[in-house]
Amino acid sequence: MGEQKLRQNQNQNSPQSSPFDKTNLRQAIEFISSLISLSYSVKVFSVKWQLIRSKLEELNSGLIAVENCDSCENSALSNLIPAILVTVKDCYDLARICVDLSYSGKLLMQSDLDVISTKFDQHVKNLSGIYSAGVLAHGFAIIVSRPNEKYVKLVVFEVNEIVNILVNFLDSLDMEIQEEATRVVYVISGFDSYKNVLIGAGVIGPLIRVLENGNDYGKEFAARSLQKLTENSDNAWSVSAHGGVTVLLKICSSGSKDEVVQINSIEFIQNISYGDESIRQTVIREGGIRLLMRVLDPKSSFSSKTRETALRAIEKLCFCSLNSINILMKCGFMEELLYFLRKGDVSIQELALKVAFRLCGTSEEAKKAMGDAGFMAEFVRLLDAKSYEVREMAIQALSNMVSVPKNRKRFAQDDRNIGLLLQLLDKEDENSGNKKFLLSILMSLTSCNSARRKIATSGYLKNIEKLAEAEVSGAKRLVRKLSTNRFRSMLSGIWHS
């Protein structure tokens, strides 16, 4: 669900609206789902966004539980849903600003995120209060919670057969029944105390079958249920045992019209592979790297958001093994990564920079290949970026790259490169961590004769000496290296005169 539709509904769904409409409820669920997906693209203020995402998940589970109730006629609920839509719209705007790194100041953005988090917290409490009041009639396998309990309570403790019946509904040939059952399983899977009940009832296999053959909503809730059931647990192996990896990879690489299902599937592969070597090897053996590379291809029809998700999955899946990195490089990963670093939109460009930074820290071979491909020119271009985080990553990546002699010579060939480094060194605050890396780059470059001469004869040498006097880390070593070589040059001149 996109931002445009969210804005279109903004005017008609104001907090003053009173008639309850299940269409509004469905819109709220879809908008929150979209916002949760978008929040994974945010790379700044990660702790605050993790907290907001947690509240969104809790709110979404509660609203889905409302949707499954037999009766929802309540004035408090009628006012709450439009208010939630307004807050979601405001949060969506903040998420886009964070993704684009277009916020005016960190402190102001942190304050805005705290405010929006408080609003979501209040919505969760209000919804919990409606449940506690007992005004919602129960439906399907869920009943109203008692006071002091969260949204739902499983009937399993009163009637054991209910969960088994619910799991059987997942294999129903009636798509509506199957979808409703999947949505209820998703709600239940959000509560840690009930996960083992679902696992014990054999829910994994049927959920994978829904993921493969269900309708779009069924697939979406099946993927999310499986994610919840396997996070921070030992249940991931059962997904692989039921053929889930094959199904997920098929969804990832297909022209699925439902972006949410595709993104959820890619994220799910990433989650179950990370930390489980046997599943990671299964994903690779079944062609997972090549399939994710197909999603990443700029010429493909996949959305930018899906490509970002694929790039994050590739990083998690492959960067823990040199063998996997070699497979990646043979698949043309270097060229595609460089493309997004050069021409991607803001969010995927920053992600590409992060991945490139990690890649150049994996091996000497990777650094050499990246130097040959032209990554250093892109790192240099980003040294003067507006975002401090982008400048920091670019400087550290360049520091890694120039540790290779061949890259140092290539870097020194362009006079503008050393001049830019010296200018940035002069601009950076003395307490900035970037200053240390800039000095480290210059120190590496002194082993190259042409670069050393350019630094020594530049008008910035006195600035470096002042940094050395101020005890800035690395500055003294650089001055000593430059001074020693100047002294040797003087002796050489005297000896040959």
Q: Mean pLDDT over all residues of the chain?
A: 80
Specify the pLDDT at position 197.
82
Helix (H) or strand (E) run with residue 491 in it: helix 475-495
CATH of range 3-141; options 1.20.930, 2.60.40, 3.40.50, 3.30.1370:
1.20.930
Task: Indicate the range of 32-36, 44-48, 206-210, 432-436 predicted with least confidence.
Answer: 432-436
DSSP conformation class of 297: -
Question: Quick one: tokens of 260?
Answer: 């949410």
Q: Which residues contact 151 (CB under 8 A, 6 or more apart)?
A: 61, 62, 65, 127, 128, 131, 145, 187
CA distances from 494 to 63, 425, 450, 488 (A): 85, 34, 22, 10
Radius of gyration of the chain (CA): 28
Least trusted range by pLDDT, from 13-17, 93-97, 269-273, 328-332: 13-17
pLDDT of residue 432: 64
Least confident of 46-55, 178-187, 432-441: 432-441
Query: Is the pLDDT score of 144 beyond 50?
Result: no
**What is the C-alpha separation between 421 and 456, in angstroms, rounded?**
13
CA distance 33 to 27: 10
pLDDT confidence of residue 75? 66
- pLDDT score, position 186: 86
pLDDT higher at 133 or 63: 63
> Is the pTM here over 0.75, yes or no?
no
Phi, psi of 154 (to 5 degrees): -70, 145
53 class by beta-carbon count within 10 Å (0-12 exposed, 13-18 middle, 19+ buried): middle
Q: pLDDT per residue over 262-318, tens digit each?
A: 888 888 888 888 777 888 888 998 889 999 999 999 888 888 888 999 999 999 888
pLDDT at 494 over 60: no
**CA–CA separation, 465 and 480 (whole Å):** 10
pLDDT band at residue 419 under the 50/70/90 scheme: confident
Q: Is residue 355 very low, low, confident or very high in pLDDT (cuts 50, 70, 90)? A: very high
Helix (H, G, I), strand (E, B) or coil at 4: helix
Share of the chain above pLDDT 90, in %: 20
CA distance 364 to 165: 57
Distances (CA, A) of 3 to 8, 35, 91, 248, 353: 9, 9, 11, 27, 26
Strand-pairing partners, residue 144, are: 152
- Tell me the fold of 360-497: Leucine-rich Repeat Variant (1.25.10)
Band (pLDDT 50/70/90 cuts) for residue 490 is very low
For residues 76-88, give the mean pLDDT.
Answer: 87
Contact criterion met (CB below 8 Å) for 256 and 262 = yes
Q: Which residues contact 201 (CB under 8 A, 6 or more apart)?
A: 163, 164, 166, 167
β-pairing verdict for 152-154 and 142-144: antiparallel
What is the chain's length?
Answer: 497
Residue with tokens 């400087």: 395
Q: Which of 94, 24, 35, 91 is nearest to 63 (CA)?
A: 24
Q: How far apart are CA 66 and CA 62, in angstroms?
A: 6
Quickly state the pLDDT bin for 52 (edges 50, 70, 90): very high
Instruction: Compute the distance between CA of residue 218 and CA of residue 381 in angstroms, rounded to an integer.
Output: 46
Average pLDDT over residues 195-200: 83
Q: Which two tokens stand for residue 443?
A: 């120190």
Q: Where are the domains of the chain?
A: 3-141, 360-497
- Model pLDDT, residue 117: 92
Using the 8-state DSSP alphabet, how is residue 232 labeled? T
pLDDT at 138: 39
Per-residue pLDDT of 3-39, as tens digits, reads: 444 444 444 444 444 445 677 888 888 889 888 888 8
